[in-house]
Chain A
Amino acid sequence: MRRGDARIWVPLALLFLATALLTGVLVGPVHLGAVNVVRGTFAHVFGLHSPLSGADDAILWELRLPRVILAAIVGGTLAAAGASYQGVFRNPLADPYLLGAAAGAGLGATIVVAYAHDSAFNGDLLPVAAFFGAGIAVVAAYVLGRSAGAAAGPAALVLAGVTIASFLTALQTFVQQQHVDTVQEVYSWLLGRLATTGWREVGIVLPYAVVAWVIIIAHRRLLDVLAVGDEEAASLGVNVARVRLFVVVAATIATAAAVAVAGLIAFVGIIVPHTIRLLVGGSYRLLLPLSVIVGAGFLVFADVIARTVMSPAELPIGVVTAFFGAPFFAVVLRTTRRTA
């Protein structure tokens, strides 16, 4: 297979995503049937009569589809955000939580769980608090990183992110220790969860995700230019600071939205882009669109595993992404090293 050939890799990635979506909708305690699932979905989308019975139709449209679609959006967002951060910071270990987004979201969520536990608004407040926590953390990291001066470059921003993250994690741990009764709930959120109540979560995350995808993918060529370094990119006529700002803002808003509805899902933003780099190549022109598609499929599959291996209990999806993702990545790393 030729590296970097969009005509091969994009259809392959789409096939992977379609398989994941279908698997995600089909797997569950109640058998629905592949044909009925597809026809039932089309019926809802186009306002036609569904072939499924009332109860089965509700399982499809109110339970499984929202969850599968949410997993796809969150996965695609985290993977694209990871690839973007790796590009603008030229750091292969950069991930969507790099600039303190995870720590900020964690603190926001912990505060809501701890102080508004019995309030009726708890469920509504948590994503909002997580979103703002992530946003504030990243703004703080950005301001701190810029204070080191433009000459300090992307490394200053990464260090600022680590600093802010440590500080916020300390606060979060403190709040958590003060409210031991809610540890379990905070913990389950920190490990990531894809629980849905109908289409509500999809509605929350979708606008941010779509805007972020569009902005990130629109910058794919410029991210290739950034790969040659800030100074060389500038000598090619690129306003490096502006590109970095746009991409970081888009990736961060998307991350904050994903974290708000799904908690902290580790590893997707690292493993998906790097797997694509090893198989397809490092040009962002293909890497970014493929990250969205493959990231979506990856998280849908991970969620299927999370729902089934200990059924009826559920594994936290963050555990699944790391537990299955790490060995998978190890295999990809080994096999591509041998053929390279």
Chain B
Amino acid sequence: MTALALHRVSVSLGGARILDSLSYEVERGEWVALIGPNGAGKTTALRAVAGLVPYDGRLDVFEHDAAGTARKELARQVALVPQVPLIPGDITVREYVLLGRTPYLGYFGTERRTDYRAVDAALDQLDLVPFAGRRLDTLSGGERQRATLARALAQDAPLLLLDEPTAALDMGRQQQVLEIVDRLRTNHGLTVVSTMHDLTLAGQYADRLLLLDGGRLVAAGGPDEVLTRALITEHYGAEVEVVDAPGSGFVVVPVRRSQ
């Protein structure tokens, strides 16, 4: 079953074409990483899938046309974790994760026992139980990222969109967060589409990579097909070496040639 199918999806914002006729299919349970230089349209692609920007073309989520799906129904299918989530500082982690249950509640409805159970489960999955009563603004960057993931998990959506999940985290926290995402994907049967700046990590965690440049899909496939020196040099304008590290995929290293 395809979790996500894009057919010639284009997005124009303020007269500029940000995403140009993107077609791709993501199978259920896959992890697909969107890579590409700044301004390539990676984030816009995620926002289109989440129904946050108008688009041309057709976009199917679990084989239903997303354009014909009500906002609330779509929110039960697709959870988005933005790159820089707006963190309301003066609420607790538990109150924040509870917001993930919004798509299941009526306009004036309040949470039922099943909603609180989902929140408890999400807090437990992300080792946030000891933090449940803490204010969000007292958490470190890595803990906040986990809180945001817990909110997305509480949303109970089978398709998880992550915009730069490791931005602003140190090396250890980056690995930790990606391992958590991979574990959630396996345990909950989630499909993950994430944008990634770190090509090495993208190659290590994602099943397939989509390389975007100027709003167009320029390469797609496994890490061995996309993480090549030629493609990266051409589209990132970067001098790199790609090293095959046995057992952990490809390592993309920037090199300085001019010296």
Q: Which of B18-26, B94-102, B208-216 contacts A (4 or more CB under 8 A)?
A: B94-102
In Å, the complex CA distance between A219 and B108 comes to: 7
- 6 example contacts (A-B, Cβ-Cβ < 8 A) are as follows A4-B92, A224-B88, A228-B88, A236-B155, A237-B76, A281-B91
Of all chain A residues, the one with the shortest Cβ separation from B84 is A229
- Tell me, rounded to whole Å, the shortest Cβ–Cβ distance linking B14 to chain A: 9
Supposing A221-B105, A237-B71, A237-B74 touch, asked if A227 and B51 sit within 8 A by C-beta, the answer is no
Of all chain A residues, the one with the shortest Cβ separation from B102 is A236
Whether the Cβ atoms of A232 and B71 lie closer than 8 Å is no
Whether the Cβ atoms of B71 and A228 lie closer than 8 Å is no
Of all chain B residues, the one with the shortest Cβ separation from A284 is B91
Which A positions have Cβ atoms within 8 angstroms of B? 3-4, 90, 218-219, 221-222, 224-225, 227-229, 231-239, 277, 281-283, 285
- Tell me, rounded to whole Å, the shortest Cβ–Cβ distance linking B165 to chain A: 15
The A-B contact count (CB < 8 A) is 77
Q: Is B90 in the interface zone, CB < 8 Å from A?
A: yes
Supposing A237-B76, A237-B102 touch, asked if A277 and B71 sit within 8 A by C-beta, the answer is no
| Residues on B with beta carbons closer than 8 Å to the beta carbon of A224 | 88, 91, 95, 99
Q: Is B85 in the interface zone, CB < 8 Å from A?
A: yes
Supposing A236-B100, A236-B102 touch, asked if A283 and B71 sit within 8 A by C-beta, the answer is no
Whether the Cβ atoms of B86 and A218 lie closer than 8 Å is no
| Residues on B with beta carbons closer than 8 Å to the beta carbon of A227 | 86, 88, 91
Q: List CB contacts (< 8 Å) of B70-88 with chain A.
A: 71-76, 78-80, 82, 85-88
Q: List CB contacts (< 8 Å) of B111-139 with chain A.
A: 133, 135
Whether the Cβ atoms of A282 and B89 lie closer than 8 Å is yes
- Tell me, rounded to whole Å, the shortest Cβ–Cβ distance linking A278 to chain B: 8
Supposing A221-B105, A232-B82, A281-B90 touch, asked if A237 and B99 sit within 8 A by C-beta, the answer is no
In Å, the complex CA distance between A282 and B47 comes to: 28
Whether the Cβ atoms of A231 and B91 lie closer than 8 Å is no
- Tell me, rounded to whole Å, the shortest Cβ–Cβ distance linking A10 to chain B: 16
